[in-house]
Chains A and B, each alone.
Chain A
Amino acid sequence: MIYQGKQKIWADYQKEIPDNHWFYVRSCIRQNFFPGAEKMFLEICREVLKKDFYETEYHTTCGGIAYHCDTIPQETVMTIVARQFSLMTEAGYENYVASCITSFGNYIEILETWREFPEVETRIREMLWKACRREFNKPKYVAHASDLIYKYRNEIASRAKFRLVNRFTGEPLRVVEHIGCHYSKMFPSKGVGGAEYPYVLCGMIESWGGNVIDYPERRHCCGYGFRQYHVKANRGYSVSNTYKKFESMAPYHPDFILTNCPGCPYFMDRWQYVIAETEGKTYGENGYGIPVLTYEELASLVLGYNPWDIGLQLHQVAVEPLLDKLGVEYDPSEKYKGLNEKELSRPELPGVLRCC
């Protein structure tokens, strides 16, 4: 691997990311998967970095999953998105940041479509007006939330309580980064680092002290792939994709996987249980799996937040071995305590995949 070759490509794909004043839109599914991630994004941006991030309860789905499953036409998706932009306009913002990768890809695709075909934009404006008497300005900048954490990565590093270093060996942690397919594969220039060697997560890992692993199936889909998972008969494809990735990364012995997409951390986390049950295989050390984190969760850990406050107990794969390597202190008895110290029920432990 020629690191300088990647640096050259990364230099070609840097994008302008405004520092402040963002209209934030959540994902449909992330709050069900790893609810701490979005909460911590706003917590870090607002409370730690003192930035202005606005969100509104009137925001809805962007329609991206239905669009990619071919269940609604693009005009419908465009009108939904036009309404989101009208919310941003109403709130007085020009910078639009999406939590979801598919939403981000959706917004970029729609804006590019309108740029190429202005008559489509005109028609959508008419449809929005007829539907809900709303008007909108197009955002000046559209970013994915991981772009923002990438932008703030050095600021986060300067406040970090933990580095991505194995405290038992003193070596940098080995990190697999996995980028959501809709981040830059459609429009390489819209992603930090481009489509082939995206830098957005690598930049965080490097800034926080870890080593990035490049493995043969790095570019491969996590296995979610809407039509693979949402069509029940296709779910075998979903898990087989995930299996392919894990088989490919296994020889590199990663300490954890970092992701920036709603589906990727969920499927790479949960399918490890399924692979363990069906194949009898586990990929972490001593029978554990490989922890899969969102970038918000990782930023929170680096900044010293309590792992149970950021929702790491919702991962299927045990995160404790990673916390031990990082030196993060945690109380195992607190893991399944809810608000007000209320004891929540403990999940049943799987038969093959070792969990805590």
Chain B
Amino acid sequence: MKENIVIIGGGIAGLEVAVQLLDLGYKPIVIEKRDRLGGHVADWNLLFPDMIPARDVVGNLIARASEANIFLNTEISFVNKLKDSYNIMLSNGISINTRIIVMTTGFALFDAAKKEEYGYGVYDQVMTNKDLEHWFNTGDDKRVNDSAMNAVGFVHCVGSRDEKARNPQCSKVCCITAIKQAIELKQRFPEAMVYCFYMDLRMFGKKYEDFYINAQRDYGIRFIRGRVSEVSENIDGRVIVKAEDTLSGKPVKVTLDLLVLMAGIICNTDSTRLANMVSLPIDSDGFLKSRDNVAEIIESPRDGIFYAGACTGPKTVPETLAEARAAALKVHLFIKGLK
């Protein structure tokens, strides 16, 4: 069907929208600024709670979306609002006129170096959740020393629910991701002590609570309710973590071979830039603002512009895929003039 549909962002949300639209007989255009598809999920190793390989999920989506017009290494130079449509100029010089834009611009990870007290980028043995996934995938990170991995810590909510970091919202997936990563590390280093420092654990999803119980019962992972106050480096290069155990009411101090910071989810600055081009509103949490946050989360206040995935706030993979399918249906109805 001859209708330009532009999907901005080639992560799992954008790919799923493309897959659904292809199934409906359209030929969508996917714009991706990176040199590959799959977004953040493509950087991940296994997905909770069933430990499905992320590459299988992403690979399947890429294969099914291959008939779409996909532009890699391409950014949006500008978007002009015309009378009934939008003119999009791409960085490769191509101009597209369209009535329909689907924003699947996703999220960005909080820069953990901003939490200076945790020492990311300063102390050798401090990494982020993303760095750890990279090591799971490639085995390439000198911070993980196979022969000396006796104690590992995870700090939850790094840059999430944090007024000081100007990021008050919950990143939603970090609790369960930390548990997943803690279990994966424990599987690889069964003798290692693994600690999770948390504010509270939000086990809202299917099987999450079971996963959490498994982590304690089957893997002996220790959960300490309390914020980490400071991280420092020992003379042998290991990191010393000070925290408060608010359940026992005592300060704790542990020496670790590796500290993993669960960097939170923040709005992608590309989303904000694009929103400014077409006057889309930004919500109080910094993410794109939906028409309403209950019944119309995938609709923008502007006709022809739809949202899917984490551009409107932190989402799990199943939530993102469900939103993408809903957005594709909305696009179809819009084209048919039914909405």
Chain A: CB-nearest residue to B237: A1
In angstroms, Cα B266 to Cα A205, docked, is 39
- Nearest Cβ on chain A to B329's Cβ, whole angstroms: 46
Question: Quick check: which of A51-59, A215-223, A292-300 contacts chain B, the rest being far away?
Answer: A215-223
Q: Which residues of B contact A195 (CB under 8 A)?
A: 116
Asked if B233 is an interface residue, CB under 8 A from chain A, the answer is yes
Report A-chain residues with C-beta under 8 Å of the C-beta of B326: none
Contact B122–A2 (Cβ < 8 Å): yes
Give the shortest distance, in Å, between A8 (CB) and chain B (any CB): 7
A251 to chain B, nearest CB (A): 5
Whether the Cβ atoms of A6 and B122 lie closer than 8 Å is yes
Interface assignment of A252: CB less than 8 Å from any CB of chain B: yes
Q: A194 — which chain B residues lie within 8 A by C-beta?
A: 116
State whether the Cβ of A196 lies closer than 8 Å to any Cβ in chain B: yes
Instruction: Let me know if A267 is at the binding interface, CB within 8 A.
Output: no
- How many whole Å from A179's CB to the nearest CB in chain B? 14
Distance, CA A2 to CA B113, complexed state (A): 12
A196 CA to B229 CA, complexed, in Å: 11
Q: Is B205 an interface residue (CB 8 A)?
A: no
- Minimal Cβ-Cβ distance residue in A for B120: A5
Name the B residues within 8 Å of A218 (CB-CB).
232
Check A5 against B233 for contact (C-beta < 8 Å): no
Report yes or no: A2 in contact with B234, Cβ–Cβ below 8 A. no
Tell me whether A274 is interfacial, beta carbon within 8 Å: no
Tell me, yes or no, whether A197 is within 8 Å of chain B by CB. Answer: yes
Given contacts A196-B116, A197-B116, contact A5 B122 (CB under 8 A): yes
Judge whether A1 and B124 touch: CB under 8 Å: yes
B140 at the interface (CB under 8 A from A): no
| A1 adjacent to B122 (CB under 8 Å) | yes
Within 8 A of B (CB), among A280-328: none
Q: A2, B235: Cβ atoms under 8 Å? A: no
B208 at interface, CB cutoff 8 A: no
**What residue of chain B has the Cβ atom nearest to residue A252's Cβ?**
B235
Most B CB contacts (10 A, CB to CB) among A5, A194, A197 go to A5
State A251–B234 Cα separation when bound (angstroms): 10
Confirm or deny: B123 has a beta carbon within 8 angstroms of a beta carbon on chain A. Answer: yes
Query: For chain A, which range describes its interface: under 10, 10 to 19, 20 to 34, or 35 or more residues?
Result: 10 to 19
For A219, the closest partner residue in chain B by CB is B230
List A residues 246-273 near B (Cβ within 8 Å): 251-252
Chain B residues 225 to 275 lying within 8 A of chain A, measured CB to CB, are 230, 232-235, 240
Given known contacts A216-B234, A218-B232, A9 and B116 CB-to-CB distance under 8 angstroms: yes
Verify B240–A216 contact, CB threshold 8 A. yes
CA gap between A252 and B124 in the complex, in Å? 18
What does the 1/0 interface line of B101-136 toward A look like (CB < 8 Å)?
000000000000100110011111000000000000
Q: Return the contact of A217 from the options B122, B123, B232 (Cβ within 8 A).
A: B232
Chain B interface residue bracket vs A: 10 to 19
Which A residue's beta carbon lies closest to that of B236?
A251
Q: B122, A197: Cβ atoms under 8 Å?
A: yes
Closest-by-CB residue of A relative to B240 is A216
Residues of A within 8 A of B116 (CB): 9, 194-197
Residues of A within 8 A of B123 (CB): 1-2
Whether A171 sits at the interface, judged by CB under 8 Å, is: no
Q: Which residue of A lies closest to B118 (CB)?
A: A196
A59 to B122 Cα, complex, angstroms: 42
User: How distant is the Cα of A196 from the Cα of B120 in the complex, in angstroms?
Assistant: 12
Contact with B along A1-16 (1 / 0, CB 8 A): 1100110110000000
Looking at the assembled complex, report how far the CB atom of B136 sits from the nearest CB atom of chain A, in whole angstroms: 23
Q: Which residues of A contact B124 (CB under 8 A)?
A: 1-2
Give B159-180 as 1s and 0s: 1 = Cβ < 8 Å from A's Cβ atoms.
0000000000000000000000
Chain B residues with Cβ below 8 Å from A1 are 122-124, 233
> Among B122, B232, B234, which residue has its beta carbon within 8 angstroms of that of A9?
B122
Which residues of chain B are near A196, meaning CB under 8 Å?
116-117, 230
**Minimum C-beta distance from B74 to chain A (A):** 31
Q: What is the CB-to-nearest-CB distance from A226 to chain B, in angstroms, rounded to a whole number?
A: 21
- State in angstroms the CA–CA spacing of A251 and B237 once bound together: 13
Query: Which residues of chain B have C-beta atoms less than 8 A from A2's C-beta?
Result: 121-124
Kindly list chain A residues whose C-beta atoms are within 8 Å of the C-beta of B113.
5, 8-9
Residues of B with C-beta under 8 A to A197: 116, 122
Q: Does A214 contact B (CB under 8 A)?
A: yes
A5 touches B121 (CB 8 A): yes
Contacts of A5 in B (CB 8 A): 113, 120-122
Q: Please name all residues of chain A whose beta carbon is closer than 8 Å to the beta carbon of B121 when the two chains form the complex.
A: 2, 5, 8
- Which residues in A have their C-beta under 8 angstroms from that of B235? 215, 251-252
List A contacts of B233 (CB < 8 A). 1, 214, 216
Q: With both chains docked as a complex, state the minimum distance between the C-beta of A18 and any C-beta of chain B, in angstroms.
A: 27
Question: Cα distance A9–B232 when bound, in Å?
Answer: 16
Q: Which residues of B contact A9 (CB under 8 A)?
A: 113, 116, 122
Q: Which residues does chain A contribute within 8 Å of B117, judged by CB atoms?
A: 196
Q: Which residue of B lies closest to A188 (CB)?
A: B116
Q: In the complex the two chains form, what is the Cα distance from A252 to B232 in whole Å?
A: 14
**C-beta contact mask, A203-236 vs B, less than 8 Å → 1, else 0?**
0000000000011111100000000000000000
For B122, the closest partner residue in chain A by CB is A5
Task: Tell me the bound Cα distance from A194 to B113 in angstroms.
Answer: 14
A-B contact pairs, 9 of them (CB 8 A): A5-B113, A5-B121, A196-B116, A196-B230, A197-B116, A197-B122, A214-B232, A216-B232, A251-B235
* Nearest 7 A/B pairs, CB to CB: A5-B121, A5-B122, A196-B116, A216-B232, A216-B240, A251-B235, A196-B117
Q: A216-B233, A219-B230 are in contact. List 20 more A-B contacts (CB 8 A).
A: A1-B122, A1-B124, A2-B122, A5-B120, A5-B121, A5-B122, A9-B113, A194-B116, A195-B116, A197-B116, A197-B122, A214-B233, A215-B232, A215-B235, A216-B232, A216-B234, A216-B240, A217-B232, A218-B232, A252-B235
